[in-house]
Amino acid sequence: MEFKEFLAELADLLEVDAEDLNDDYELDSENFDSVAVVSTIALIDEYFDVTVNGKSLSQAKTVGEVMDLIKKAKED
């Protein structure tokens, strides 16, 4: 399942355990800085073959919001 694999990679990027990531996991400037945003855009492209808007992604406050952006991009 691509979401599970993506979340594992995102956990590595955020330097947290994959088990800690859920829709409510909060992203902040300490764990989701500009480098993490760019890396997440690359991960999304790799796993889902879609591009999400960097500004929208950087404004995401939770992992659930990131997943919503991916789902929306896949629908478009």
Distance between CA atoms of residues 70 and 61, nearest Å: 14
| Best CA proximity match to 69, nearest among 44, 33, 42 | 44
Global pTM value: 0.91
Contact in structure between 57 and 40 (CB atoms under 8 Å): yes
pLDDT digits (tens, 9 = 90+) for 5-60: 999 999 999 999 999 999 999 998 888 999 999 999 999 999 999 999 999 999 99
| Tokens read off for 21 | 């990531």
Q: Enter the DSSP assignment of 15.
A: T
User: Residue 26: beta bridge partners?
Assistant: 62
Q: Tokens 């399942």 — which residue?
A: 1
Domains, the chain, with CATH or none: 2-75 (1.10.1200.10)
